[in-house]
Amino acid sequence: MKNLIIASTSTIYHGTYLEYLLPTLKEHFRGVSTLLFVPYARPSGITHNEYTDKVRIAFATIGIEVKGLHEYDNPVNAVKEAQAIFTGGGNTFLLVKQLYQNNVLDTIKEVVDNGTPYLGCSAGSNICGLTMETTNDMPIVYPPSFKTFGFVPFNLNPHYLDPIEGSTHMGETRETRINEFHAFNTQPVLGLREGSWLEVKGDVITLRGEHSARIFEQNKAAYEVETNTDLSQLN
């Protein structure tokens, strides 16, 4: 049975890394002693080691050891043997390119579909949708495909931002960008605000956290769903 936390972000304003999620993660990873971390997205260009060390500090507070996927000579076997998996945020294009390059995308999908607990934040959440095409990131590298895990039957836009009333900014809003996506693609998109996450238990997908989420469907007006809403029928 699938068991995922798909979070908009790792850090909320005035908080430390993963702090707001730790009570949820303690329960989510109950019985897990060692976590496999996927550092490929490299936020701000930091090294895999630096990123993994940051994650180690956070998970040490709930008694979980962290190993970086880059530390293994055989990443496919590391994924197959993992008690749990966390994919962190950063640049989604880089993350997806590395997942394909190291031949672990299909393996992660297989083990998570079969019950290995998974946590994604930001880019690590974006790839839980059908494709990565609703990321906010710059295309700094070229992945071989935009197809991602498909743990949920729609696309995700983590860090979703509402238009600011009275703003003089003339660039596109997130809603405009998602409407552009829907000019060519049919799958729904969930705009996931900071401080909220999806809880996936088997085939049940539930919005959790402090905020509502915004749903975009092709040829329909966008609408809000409140926290604790069951999103299992969104496809």
Which candidate, 70, 41, 43, 73, places its Cα nearest to that of 143? 41
Tokens 């880089």: give the residue.
94
What's the CA gap between 154 and 187, in Å, rounded?
6
> What are the residues whose beta carbons fall under 8 Å from the beta carbon of 8, sequence distance 6 or more?
121, 122, 125, 158, 159, 160, 192, 193, 194, 195, 196, 197, 209
Return the structure tokens found at 110. 């297989």
What's the CA gap between 87 and 206, in Å, rounded?
20
Residues that are catalytic: 122, 137, 159
30: left (phi over 0), alpha (psi -120 to 50) or beta: beta
